Chain A
């Protein structure tokens, strides 16, 4: 009987499909649970704590609604930290992106020495930033630092970066750029290898063969998706700067290098105000999330022809 057999087939197929689905959920469960435990749950907890007056070590707390946020918006330290983070980011990111691209283009066509340069530029990324910060504190030191010695020998004033109100942020930015350039070089090199060889040949035939012309007509437009990615990643990393602040300046002198993440740390674990620190963290998460959304939106637009 054909109808009966087809009905059996159908129910078999349905059973098979539901079993298949169950299996698929089973396989994705570990990843889902891990995501909940390590990402989603902490965010929920932080948002909840930002609405309380909890202090580290206490056993009780009270819900105070948006009180922490009100305190935050009226705190001069918060605004100074936010401004410093913004200035630092605005200074570090464009320079890191341009220098990274510039170095990547220079290295890209080296055949034998390419590996060497890749390693040299990637070393800062691979090294421990805390340890490297100590090296930088020596390099940029006004009394014993080699940079100050060089400047003094040509008659310029000895600059002591980390004890000068106006220079401390620049000193941190130099270290930040030093580290980000290597990171960007690697990403841009990956982007450059994606440009087909035949397109590069065609360009050299069409007269697009000087550095600036290649940059303008070929590399820059073709690397646009990579550049957006690098730009956003750099913004996030610049906003996250902490190690160098903690090691080199402790936010000083006079709060001129107090950044958002450092302020979160000071408030939460220095002053033990977990509730207030959580409110700062929520704002920080919103900012980082905004960067990521911009990146997704831009790369989505690029993907469509």
Chain B
């Protein structure tokens, strides 16, 4: 483990009159895989560039391994970075791309002059060490046979591996990655994602990964810092972000299927969507208007609509994705444009065959995966209870 921790305090960055980062406080732990997640323009890449040292913050401090690096040049920060466009040197072979950081680090200007190796045995020895280090990294990444090729002769995935090799060869204590997978096709992306996860586990380096793809973030990270509008709105494990989003905007951003939103009123703790009782109770919440956010899997398809808390909506579209099926229903009568319901494929078949799912679909709301937000978008700290689940009455699946 030679990863180092990063402490970011009160970091601000203004470009002219526009403020891109509005006070970032973030501690990245030693050897952690932290992802900066957010939509484009949220400031995540700017934050990464400040950590790398390509830009100087307007105010605030940045420490890596207890050393203040706020104003140090990039090469003195013991960091490495992989860029979205790979940023390989197009005129150098893959091997030279990997060795150049070591040449710059270990050889002085005069030692790098052509012919220095003939005159000095010391230079020869250093060059041999560098070649050995390059070979070691190339072996790790499976690049041995590609070292003589120019970047233009490599595929996207191979270029990305060379870029990782160039970063890795210097033994950095922090590894920065700026959307490294977004230029690759889907299959390769999954493969490289696993390789990055393995690399992190094997090296114990602290990783700071930037992406706008929540799926990628969830799959890789120990923790995710979700950024919106130049601020970190929530920082936590993927489970925390998914299971307890602090803001409605967080709930919207995290999760593959778009989250369902229904305007609800609370009266005496009972939740109603328009005139419909949802069968959910929110104890201790003052009466008023709220927004209920429901994950697609929090809606449970049931055969009949004859109980309270069971909704019937018209089916608009059915989307197959292998084991799961997402049914999109028109939700106008409960005040939302679409309601998406995720059900297992076999359950879907059962309901269809028994004639309970066709033009319309009936379902009820479970308490898990449901979040109540104030109209301002903040999460209400309350645990929702489902009447049916509480009373121990489960719907028997009658087919």
Binding site for B on A (CB under 8 A): 196, 198-199, 201-210, 212-213, 217-218, 221-222, 224, 305
CB contacts (< 8 Å) of B80 on chain A: these are: 205
| Closest 6 pairs (CB-CB, A-B) | A207-B104, A198-B87, A202-B87, A206-B101, A221-B91, A207-B75
Task: Kindly report which residue of chain A lies nearest to residue B52, judged by CB atoms.
Answer: A205
Query: What CA separation (Å) do A122 and B10 show in the bound complex?
Result: 45
Rounded to whole Å, the gap between the CB of B228 and the closest CB of chain A is: 25
User: Quick one: which of A196, A204, A222 contacts B73, CB cutoff 8 A?
Assistant: A204
Known contacts A205-B75, A207-B101, A198 near B83 by CB under 8 Å = yes
Query: What CA separation (Å) do A210 and B153 show in the bound complex?
Result: 29
Query: What CA separation (Å) do A213 and B101 show in the bound complex?
Result: 12
Query: What CA separation (Å) do A246 and B53 show in the bound complex?
Result: 55
Contact B54 A201 (CB under 8 A): yes
Q: Mark B208-241, 1 if CB is under 8 A from A, else 0.
A: 0000000000000000000000000000000000
Contact B104 A208 (CB under 8 A): yes
Contact A201 B83 (CB under 8 A): yes
User: Quick one: which of A199, A201, A206, A224 contacts B104, CB cutoff 8 A?
Assistant: A206
Q: Is B111 an interface residue (CB 8 A)?
A: no
Q: Is B118 an interface residue (CB 8 A)?
A: no
CB contacts (< 8 Å) of A201 on chain B: these are: 49, 52, 54, 74, 81, 83, 87
Rounded to whole Å, the gap between the CB of A300 and the closest CB of chain B is: 16
19 CB contacts below 8 A, A to B, read: A196-B85, A198-B83, A199-B87, A201-B49, A201-B54, A202-B87, A203-B89, A204-B54, A205-B52, A205-B101, A206-B101, A206-B104, A212-B109, A213-B104, A213-B109, A217-B89, A221-B92, A222-B90, A224-B91
Contact B75 A202 (CB under 8 A): no
Query: What CA separation (Å) do A106 and B212 show in the bound complex?
Result: 36
User: Quick one: which of B81, B84, B85, B109 contacts A205, CB cutoff 8 A?
Assistant: B81
CB contacts (< 8 Å) of B74 on chain A: these are: 201, 204-205, 209
Known contacts A198-B84, A205-B52, A209-B73, A217 near B100 by CB under 8 Å = yes
Known contacts A208-B104, A305-B152, A305-B153, A218 near B89 by CB under 8 Å = yes
Q: Which of B87-109 contact A (CB under 8 A)?
A: 87-92, 100-101, 104-105, 109
Q: Is the interface of A mostly helix, strand, loop or mixed?
A: helix
Q: Is B166 an interface residue (CB 8 A)?
A: yes
Rounded to whole Å, the gap between the CB of B372 and the closest CB of chain A is: 44
Query: What CA separation (Å) do A210 and B101 show in the bound complex?
Result: 14
Q: Is B47 an interface residue (CB 8 A)?
A: no
Task: Kindly report which residue of chain B lies nearest to residue A195, judged by CB atoms.
Answer: B90
Rounded to whole Å, the gap between the CB of A191 and the closest CB of chain B is: 14
Binding site for A on B (CB under 8 A): 49, 52-54, 73-75, 79-81, 83-85, 87-92, 100-101, 104-105, 109, 150, 152-153, 166
CB contacts (< 8 Å) of A218 on chain B: these are: 89
Known contacts A213-B109, A222-B90, A202 near B73 by CB under 8 Å = no
User: Quick one: which of A202, A207, A213, A305 contacts B150, CB cutoff 8 A?
Assistant: A305
User: Quick one: which of B85, B92, B100, B104 contacts A198, CB cutoff 8 A?
Assistant: B85
Query: What CA separation (Å) do A91 and B54 show in the bound complex?
Result: 40
Known contacts A206-B100, A207-B104, A222 near B91 by CB under 8 Å = yes
CB contacts (< 8 Å) of A221 on chain B: these are: 89, 91-92
Query: What CA separation (Å) do A202 and B92 show in the bound complex?
Result: 14
Rounded to whole Å, the gap between the CB of B340 and the closest CB of chain A is: 38
Contact A207 B105 (CB under 8 A): yes
Known: A199-B90, A205-B74, A222-B90. 7 other contacts (CB 8 A): A198-B87, A201-B87, A205-B81, A209-B75, A213-B104, A221-B91, A305-B150
Task: Kindly report which residue of chain A lies nearest to residue B80, judged by CB atoms.
Answer: A205
Rounded to whole Å, the gap between the CB of A244 and the closest CB of chain B is: 38
Known contacts A196-B85, A201-B54, A202-B83, A208 near B152 by CB under 8 Å = no
Contact A196 B91 (CB under 8 A): no
Contact B105 A199 (CB under 8 A): no
CB contacts (< 8 Å) of B73 on chain A: these are: 204, 209
CB contacts (< 8 Å) of A206 on chain B: these are: 75, 100-101, 104, 166
Query: What CA separation (Å) do A196 and B83 show in the bound complex?
Result: 12
Contact B75 A204 (CB under 8 A): yes
Query: What CA separation (Å) do A186 and B344 show in the bound complex?
Result: 64
